[in-house]
Chains A and B, each alone.
Chain A
Amino acid sequence: MQEQNLEEWKEKIDRSAEQITVPDTLTPGAVQQMLEERKNRTSAGRKEHRHYRRFAGIAAAVAVLVIAVGTYGWNKYGTDDAQPKKAALSVTETVDSTQDTEKKEQIGAFTLAKSYQDVYAAVQKKSNSQKELAEGTVDDSFFVEDTGSAEAKKESSGTHSDTNLQVNGVDEGDIVKNDGNYLYVLNDDRVTIVDIRDKNMRKLSEIRPELTENDILLQLYVDNDRLYVIKQGWETQQEEIQSDSTEADNDSGFIRCYKDIAYEPDGNVSTVLLTYDISERANPVLSATMKMDGAYQSSRKVGNFIYLFTDRWVSRDGKNWKAQVIPEIAGKKADAGCFYVQKNGTTEVIMASVNLKEPSKAADHMVLLDSGRQVYMGTDAIYLYQMEYERGEKTKIAKFSYKNGMFSAIAETTVKGAIWDTFAISESGGELRILTTDSQNSLSENRLYLLDADLKKEGLLENIAKGEEIYAARYLGNIAYFITYHNTDPLFAVDISDPAHPKPLGNVKMTGYSDYLHPFGDGLLLGIGYETDAKTSEKTGVKLTMFDISDPINLRILDSVTINEDFCSAAENYKCAFVDTGRGLVGFATETWTKTNYNRYMLFQWDGTSFVKKISLKKTQQKMDTWTGAEQMRGLSSGDCFYVLHVERDDFSLISYDMKNDFQEIETKKY
């Protein structure tokens, strides 16, 4: 069938619905009234509930005590003399954090589980799975990209480019990897190895992992003769949803029948690390598989370890909920002593480390029973953070060390405000720096926190750019640089050399804003973002700005260029940015949304005073259904060649340019 016909049918369906009237109960006005009524009812109901809850709380505490005592009599810890008897119920701060082998019993609100019983007890009692959708929805699909910090990364002016990373030395997976000799491209259900050792690109081989209908390939890593592919699997099962809504809080009649909806798609989501031996690039061989429960959240590679982060929702729904609460990692149930639990846990964040010498096993694992977290991984520690909106905007942060692939909980803390930018959280020398925006009041507030190795507050700077919000951040040396925006874009510099006394240095204003900041060599900071209309705040184009930060007290704008496009990949996803400070290059893809959408790959060269356009490659949408946007484009380099990759649905294209010959196009290949 022609694409055109396809469109025609969609239009017909649309037309057939045109005259349908929406029931009066669903108009925005009626809905608002309904919500108002419900709000009033629940706030009245909450007061009544409170007594009930308090009572229930005492009852629950008694129950826990009984269980705890009972368990202690029987389980192995009960007979283990070395095990302190106080454990489960007392909330003690373990002072000693130097011993890596001993796990902390408590970090923040989390308690280390002593047995699976502790885990079961902590799983949210009520079937609150609805809420999880809400959260889960956002979690797994709208937040594939995570976290970040900010050190100046290893630049690629030498031989070949790497994925643009958050933290130098902490590798991240992407849809393409480049080792200077070969490109490894992930395209839907296959990975293609392309030889780029000479000027003519040559496809060497193609890997097609075994996939079921619901499996999906997500990211790649390459380390010498090994290629790692991350796959997400999804085993569907038609299980009846158990209803146990006996609680008498169905204060609105019609919602009752939906109370026990499992928002999670039926079935088990798992994440798989596939290892391929690519010592013969023309003949890759699958050499190991490691599977763990949970939907893929993020991963990192540091030295000889790959760290995987997944999450999944847990609840007391269904007959087998207890079995389902304990995740499997590399064929084994997670150890009870690896759980940090918190009451009313709804989501498990599962961390596993894989020693690449034994890629079919997990070297260590840890499970956090909580409500979902984002990942920031520095060179020394993993930080899992999560925004909370109840009683004010807050961010909870838990810190774990991961030395030699072994996880150890260190501390947990809460700061005011939310982390808006991936690069607003950053570790350096054991200290953590965080920029937050708190937008609960009509005038939003920004704060800079400086926390010590135990996440204790060392310093705090408040009252930064009231009414504006933090859009981008970078910590360079002893200075925090960040962009705030309301209708103009000031770049701020704050001296953080004395963590107890952060000191504002200078700022510079301009129109529009930067979403991404990248250090650009000596005294320069590059901003990638958008130009906006000063009156309406509407985006009017993609904007590049070069800041002179050589004197942080007198910040200056050296040049800026606005491109008439609608969307910039690098502003949304730092992995889409190509930066080569040695050659003074910055590349990214844009989208323009008209009747026929098109992407454009743009490469600019900074000549010391201004941006000079070197490549402007327009790619017009041919077939709607196989088209992919700017986020599926990457710029790469090896030697004197620059490559533009566009991964579409059925195929991908590579276009090479000669950097020595003023970026003349060499050839185009489609695979």
Chain B
Amino acid sequence: MDERLLVKRAKRGDTAAFAELYGTIYKRLYQFALYTLGNTQDAEDVVSAAVMEAFENIGKLRKEDAFSAWMYRIVANMCKQKMREYYQRGEELTEENGGWDGYVWGDTREEYIEVRRAFLTMDEEDRMIVGMHVFGGYKTREIAQILAMNENTVRSREHRALQRMEKQLKGLR
């Protein structure tokens, strides 16, 4: 069904319409949260909370074909908050303290664990930028809009982040 129509229905409190909208993006959205946070439990909490927020506030979504970008923005902001909590508690998630549970995500072949490990060494904003590109399928311009960042900054940061990641992975071999 047409996305705009679904959004309209969701605005009237239609949970089925909302679920249908959400259904088209939820796998990717969860992967995005997981790769940003590095922890399955936190990613689940964040996506779940984002769903509640989105449903409560969908009446204010004026551009009705922007549902997906809007969901990503909510999740991104909640991830930022979550990471702020980590810092406040003075604990960064690492493999050692068990906060980062990257070994148990899906495919556990060493090659993929290495990719995830390298990904998680990126700066948090870089993880979001690259994550939105990979999982959300967004263009640089759109990512800049979603994250309220300068487009040029987004582009150069992604470039740098991936360069770093490559270097790191090659060093491992």
Contact = CB atoms under 8 A, between A and B. Distances in A.
B11 to A, nearest CB: 6
A16 B115 contact: yes
Interface in B135-153: 135, 140-141, 145-153
Interface residues of A, number: 70
B105 to A, nearest CB: 5
Contacts of A18: 106-107
Interface stretch (A33-41, A54-62, A96-104, A359-367): A33-41
Interface string B40-55: 1000111111011111
A140 to B, nearest CB: 7
B38 to A, nearest CB: 13
The CB with the most chain B CB atoms within 10 A, among A29, A137, A390, A537, is that of A137
Interface in B1-46: 2, 8, 11-13, 15-16, 18-20, 22-23, 26-27, 30-31, 34-35, 40, 44-46
A95 interface: no
Interface stretch (A212-220, A397-405, A519-527, A636-644): A212-220
B93 interface: no
A614 B46 CA distance: 53
A22 B115 contact: no
A501 B89 CA distance: 67
Nearest to A240: B88
> Chain A's interface: helix, strand, loop or mixed, by majority?
helix
Nearest to B13: A39
Contacts of A25: 44, 48
A12 B48 contact: no
A387 interface: yes
B74 A134 contact: yes
Nearest to B105: A20
A215 B153 CA distance: 10
A6 B48 contact: no
A36 B15 contact: yes
Contacts of A22: 26-27, 30
A272 B158 CA distance: 28
Nearest to A137: B73
A135 B150 CA distance: 20
B70 A1 contact: no
Given A21-B106, A28-B20, A32-B18, A13 B115 contact: yes
B17 to A, nearest CB: 10
A275 to B, nearest CB: 22
Given A39-B13, A134-B60, A214-B150, A1 B159 contact: yes
A262 B107 CA distance: 35
B173 interface: no
Nearest to B65: A142
Contacts of B134: 10, 13-14, 17
Given A5-B166, A19-B107, A138-B60, A29 B115 contact: no
A298 to B, nearest CB: 15
Contact of A9 (B55, B69, B81, B166): B166
B35 A131 contact: no
Task: Name, among A6, A141, A389, A440, the residue most crowded by chain B CB atoms within 10 Å (CB to CB).
Answer: A141
Interface string A260-271: 011101000000
Contacts of A21: 106
Interface in A213-239: 213-216, 234
Contact of A17 (B35, B57, B88, B145): B35
Contacts of B140: 625
A26 B26 contact: yes
Contacts, number: 198
Contacts of B59: 389-390
Given A440-B12, A649-B152, A131 B56 contact: yes
B15 to A, nearest CB: 4
A487 B74 CA distance: 34
Interface string A617-635: 0000000011011000000
Contacts of A628: 141
Interface string B151-171: 111010011001101100000
Nearest to B81: A261
A555 interface: no
A252 interface: yes
A15 interface: yes
A118 B51 CA distance: 35
Nearest to B152: A188
A439 B8 CA distance: 8
Interface in A244-303: 252, 254-255, 257-258, 261-263, 265
Contacts of A14: 134-135
A34 B162 contact: no
Interface in A125-142: 130-131, 133-135, 137-142
Nearest to B62: A138
A23 interface: yes
Nearest to A11: B134
A135 B55 contact: no
Contacts of B111: 16
A10 B133 contact: yes
Given A133-B73, A135-B60, A141 B146 contact: yes
Given A23-B44, A625-B140, A134 B15 contact: no
22 contacts: A1-B162, A10-B130, A10-B133, A13-B119, A22-B26, A26-B51, A28-B22, A31-B18, A31-B26, A31-B48, A35-B55, A36-B15, A38-B52, A142-B63, A188-B152, A189-B152, A215-B150, A258-B81, A261-B81, A389-B11, A440-B12, A649-B151
Given A28-B26, A214-B149, A214-B153, 13 more contacts: A9-B166, A13-B119, A14-B135, A23-B30, A35-B18, A36-B15, A137-B70, A141-B145, A141-B146, A214-B150, A240-B88, A254-B49, A257-B45
Interface of A: 1, 5-6, 9-10, 12-23, 25-29, 31-32, 34-36, 38-39, 130-131, 133-135, 137-143, 188-189, 213-216, 234, 240-241, 252, 254-255, 257-258, 261-263, 265, 387, 389-390, 439-440, 537, 625-626, 628-629, 649
Chain A to chain B: the 9 pairs with minimum beta-carbon distance, closest first: A134-B57, A19-B106, A28-B23, A20-B106, A32-B19, A16-B112, A141-B145, A389-B59, A135-B60
